[in-house]
């Protein structure tokens, strides 16, 4: 019987493997950008009534959108830890990576059938399933980072992944923009009818380019009996948790990450709905807004890696959290579209950097040469998912009780301030020196 191949026996820093890993970001970031940020929010708000009734609860359509995101991330947060334990024990990281990718891509394509209030359930369920596929895949994608790269390369490799994601998603977004703005060329009566083509293109792009990492990443080595995977997966997770508790800096960092990621994800997911409802952006204006954000983010991810190499990860993250706090405060007062474009550029500058450095910083805080990367990263990803639930739910809840999104934006600033206080006591001993 084969034994589970340990990460330490795999060749690290192989350019072909690293580039293949980064292409997963290229593949699935198209969903994150084109669907959840640029196109679907405006399309959803356009097709739905301002006030909707869901299971007897009356809410705004933007609140329903925010809470749909929260529900998707709550589901994946509940199941991903045990799946990660199974992946570590049974050597099935790529199996789950492939499953969630397929689920997400097909669910994204299903949004083609969301055409108005009579098919609202298609839009909500399809969006939730696609978001689960996106979030679930990232759990196992992240766990490959300590396997394919040495610690001194974590920041650069993590930044490469985010940069690939930004570049690929911008390319596809531009293609979608051409179709929507020139709908007559493609036989559509108006731009709104052309939007669903983006759902199909994103789904095909996602599942198509994902084949590159699925071919190049280290192969699974399933060696354990299937009937024992569930119980052993749970045991693997408990073992990782016991080990993680003996790493106080990793635990403190996870708590800080939870707080600031709640604010980051709420901004990224709901900036478009804010621009559409508060500043009356058109669908085309929203797409241009997101393009600015993404193009700046490409440079921001690389700049953060270079800054961490000079000043360290903690310094870099603290600086970006201060910028995020200022963004929320300014966002409360912004009144014009032009001002919001500048604010979007500021978000882009720190958007990729904070996500890239968070992933690589956590990798540095793990016990060295551990084979249980999926189990350890499951805790990171649970924090990611649950904080996204908290952030998006808070945004929707504050809007629901106050009647205004501006109050929701100001509430997000609290997350960043709290995370700064917690991060002040985190010590990151192992740092890059290049």
| Boundaries of domain holding 245 | 10-217+227-423
Asked whether residue 434 is domain-assigned, the answer is no
Asked whether residue 432 is domain-assigned, the answer is no
Q: Report the pLDDT value the prediction gives residue 260, as an integer from 0 to 100.
A: 93
Structure confidence at residue 153 as a pLDDT band (50, 70, 90): confident
Asked whether residue 242 is domain-assigned, the answer is yes
Asked whether residue 252 is domain-assigned, the answer is yes
Within 13 Å, how many C-alpha atoms sit on residue 216's CB side? Answer: 20
Bigger pLDDT: 421 vs 433: 421
Each residue's pLDDT tens digit, 15-47:
999 999 999 999 999 998 888 877 888 888 888
Q: Report the pLDDT value the prediction gives residue 220, as an integer from 0 to 100.
A: 75
Whether residue 87 is predicted with pLDDT greater than 70 in this model: the reply is no
Asked whether residue 5 is domain-assigned, the answer is no
Asked whether residue 3 is domain-assigned, the answer is no
Q: Is the pTM of this model over 0.75?
A: no
Cα 261 from Cα 255, distance rounded (Å): 10
What is the count of structural domains for the chain? Answer: 1
DSSP 2: P
Each residue's pLDDT tens digit, 223-253:
555 556 566 656 666 776 777 777 788 888 8
Cα 423 from Cα 419, distance rounded (Å): 6
Nearest in space to 262 (alpha carbons), one of 397, 167, 143, 164: 397
Cα 71 from Cα 304, distance rounded (Å): 31
Asked whether residue 237 is domain-assigned, the answer is yes
Burial (CB count within 10 angstroms: exposed 0-12, middle 13-18, buried 19+), residue 398? buried
Q: What's the CATH code of the domain at 324?
A: 1.20.1250.20
Q: Report the pLDDT value the prediction gives residue 7, as an integer from 0 to 100.
A: 42
Percent of the chain exceeding pLDDT 70 equals 87
Determine which of 76-80, 329-333, 375-379 has the lowest per-residue pLDDT on average.
375-379
Each residue's pLDDT tens digit, 294-349:
778 777 777 887 888 888 888 889 999 999 999 999 988 888 777 888 888 888 88
Asked whether residue 293 is domain-assigned, the answer is yes
């Amino acid at each position: 019987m084969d034994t589970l191949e340990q990460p330490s026996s795999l060749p690290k820093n192989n350019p072909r493997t690293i580039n293949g890993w980064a292409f997963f970001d290229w593949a699935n970031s198209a969903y994150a950008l084109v669907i959840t940020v640029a196109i679907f929010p405006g399309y959803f708000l356009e097709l739905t009534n301002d006030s909707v009734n869901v299971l007897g609860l009356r809410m705004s359509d933007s609140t329903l959108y925010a809470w749909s995101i929260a529900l998707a991330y709550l589901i994946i947060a509940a199941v991903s830890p045990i799946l990660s334990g199974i992946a570590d024990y049974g050597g099935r990281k790529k199996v789950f990576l492939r499953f969630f990718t397929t689920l997400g891509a097909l669910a994204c394509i299903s949004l083609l059938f969301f055409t108005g209030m009579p098919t609202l359930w298609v839009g909500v369920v399809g969006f939730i399933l696609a978001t689960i596929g996106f979030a679930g895949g990232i759990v196992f994608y992240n766990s490959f980072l300590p396997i394919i790269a040495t610690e001194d390369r974590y920041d650069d490799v993590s930044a490469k992944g985010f940069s690939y994601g930004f570049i690929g998603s911008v390319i596809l977004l531009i293609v979608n923009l051409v179709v929507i703005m020139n709908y007559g060329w493609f036989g559509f009566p108006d731009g709104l009818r052309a939007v669903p083509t983006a759902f199909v293109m994103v789904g095909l792009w996602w599942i198509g380019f994902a084949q590159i990492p699925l071919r190049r990443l280290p192969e699974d080595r399933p060696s354990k009996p299937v009937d024992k995977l569930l119980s052993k997966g749970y045991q693997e997770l408990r073992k990782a948790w016991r080990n993680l508790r003996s790493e106080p800096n990793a635990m403190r960092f996870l708590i800080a990450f939870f707080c600031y990621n709640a604010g980051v994800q709420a901004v990224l997911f709901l900036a478009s709905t804010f621009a559409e409802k508060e500043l009356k952006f058109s669908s085309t204006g929203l797409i241009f807004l997101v393009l600015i954000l993404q193009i700046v983010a490409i440079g921001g991810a690389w700049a953060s890696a270079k800054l961490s190499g000079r000043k360290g990860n903690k310094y870099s993250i603290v600086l970006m959290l201060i910028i995020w706090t200022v963004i929320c405060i300014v966002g409360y007062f912004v009144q014009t579209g032009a001002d919001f474009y500048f604010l979007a550029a500021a978000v882009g500058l720190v958007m990729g950097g904070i996500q890239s450095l968070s992933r690589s910083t956590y990798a540095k805080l793990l016990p060295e040469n551990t084979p249980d990367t999926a189990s350890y990263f499951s805790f990171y990803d649970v924090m990611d998912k649950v904080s996204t639930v908290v952030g998006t739910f808070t945004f929707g809840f504050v809007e629901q009780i106050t009647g205004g999104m501006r109050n929701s934006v100001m509430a997000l600033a609290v997350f960043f301030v709290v995370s700064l206080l917690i991060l002040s006591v985190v010590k990151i001993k192992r740092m890059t020196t290049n």
